[in-house]
Amino acid sequence: MRTKTVLLCLIFWTIGRTAADHTSFTVSQAPEEAKVLRRESTTFYCIFPLSNDQTWVRVLWWKHAENEYLRTSTDKRKRFGMASRASGFLQLLGVTIKDAGIYRCSVIRQGEVKGNGTGSRLTVYG
């Protein structure tokens, strides 16, 4: 429940900023940190300004210090999607100690990276 409240607050804050300044493209993430037990699941959100048009937006995720975006084809425990027109999500199912680290998102609009997220730290307890 707390994560959904934080997500909604960040979306409304982002919408307000976008309305006030059409040139900024700030990407944030929620929660900043998640602490979970091994085999539990967690979800991170990537929040960005709404587009004035119906431009297609894609959100990609990566783990800090790795050289490629995360893909479901290499790990079925990772799920991605759009939570709204102004946010995407990364869900990690049945986390392991190896999943610990910092996860970041990239927002891609019209084939171009418009911004990167602030990062979300995952701590896994065994």
- Per-residue pLDDT of 42-99, as tens digits, reads 999 999 998 776 678 899 999 999 989 999 888 899 999 999 989 999 999 999 999 9
Which pLDDT band, with edges at 50, 70 and 90, does 4 fall under?
Answer: low
Residue 27 has pLDDT above 90, yes or no: yes
Buried b (16+ CB within 10 A) or exposed e, 57-81: bebbbbbeeeeeebeeeeeeebebe
Q: Strand ranges (DSSP E) for the chain?
A: 28-30, 33-37, 42-47, 57-63, 78-84, 87-92, 101-109, 112-116, 120-125
Domain that holds residue 54: 2-125
User: Per the structure, how many domains does the chain have?
Assistant: 1
- CATH code, 6: 2.60.40.10
What's the token pair of residue 97? 């100690």
Q: What is the pTM of this model?
A: 0.80
Which pLDDT band, with edges at 50, 70 and 90, does 16 fall under?
Answer: very low
